[in-house]
Structure formats: C-alpha cells, structure tokens
Structure 1
Amino acid sequence: MFPVTIEWVLTKNGGRKQLPPIGLYYAVAHFDIPNSKNWSVVFQLEIHLINSHQLWLTQGKVRFLVDHAPNDYFKHLSTFKIFEGPRLVANVFLR
C-alpha cells in the first residue's frame, strides 16, 4: 500500500456531508493521464484531521482493488482524484 493524504471537497462545494469512518474505504480513482480509465481503489483510512484552513484531511494508505491495475501510477504520480458516482469528493496526494 502507498501512503496518502486525502483532502476532501467541502460539502458546500459538492463534497461529502461527513467523512467516511476510519478503516477501509472503497472508491473510484481518476488519474489525469490521457486515455487512462478510472480504477477502483481501496484506502485504509487511519486518521482524520482539520487543518488551519478548516479543510478536512485524512491520512492513510491506498492500493488498487485489482491486481492487474497500473501500480506504477502510485510510484510516478503525485496526485489523483476520487469520485463517488459523478461527484468529485476528494483530491489525493501520494506521500
């Protein structure tokens, strides 16, 4: 698994009404790579934080849900987006 910090989109901007519970969280990841498809990922959420700008942050780890996914994305990219249906709910930063 790869360490991440998740910055959640604020509710007023279309994000979640509350943070997912600590533990496993399954989501759809979008990578800003031409012709790349979305991939299912699983997070191990470890701790929720609120920073000085009142943004919701979560630290944890991520991996792809399936073995044949492009694991190199996590090694070579610094960020990706998380969607729930058509709605952007978070930006993820690889640490």
Structure 2
Amino acid sequence: MRDALASWPRQPDFFSVVNLLGGTTIITGSSPRFDVFGNDFGWGRPVTVRSGGANKFDGKVTVYEGPGGAGSMSLEVCLVPAALAKLLADDEFMDAVTTP
C-alpha cells in the first residue's frame, strides 16, 4: 500500500466503474422515488431531465418516473455513437421503442 501511495503522484489512477467492469456493461441507476418531473423552479414543470456529466459513460442507463407518472418511465441511455447507429438501423428495435 505504501508503494502504491508513493507512486500515485507520478501515475495517478482514478476509480472508474467502466474500468472495473469492462467495456460491455450496462448499468442502471436512479429511482422512481425521485420526483424529478415534479420540480418547478418558477419556469414550469420540466419537459425532460438529464443526469449530470459525471454520471455519463458508455452503457449507463438512468431510469426516471415519466412525466405522466402512473407507471410511465423516462430513460436516459448513454451509448457510444457506433452502438447508437446500430440500434437506429435495427427496424425491430425501433418498432418496439417508437410511439406511433
């Protein structure tokens, strides 16, 4: 441990969930208990919500209760552009996630 602490200023290493689990991981976060669409700071109810920049990495899915409540969900999905392009090209996937 002393060697690791002594070498850290020359080669700092910060904890990352992505480094811990590898590059093919999906992690979900948040809770329906957080009333994110109920916040009104004087501008009206939010149209959408997003997590902060510190919580974004490839494979992160943040789940919020949807703006309509009653069991609806809003998802913030962070993907690298190549993965997103593959999903957009998948007709079966797009039919399942797109509203008419």
Is TM more than 0.5 here? no
Give the TM-score category using the shorter length.
Answer: under 0.3
Greater strand share, structure number: 1
- TM-score (norm: length of structure 1): 0.24
Structure whose CA Rg is larger: 2
Task: Select the structure with the greater relative contact order (CA < 8 A; seq sep ≥ 6).
Answer: 1
Greater helix share, structure number: 2
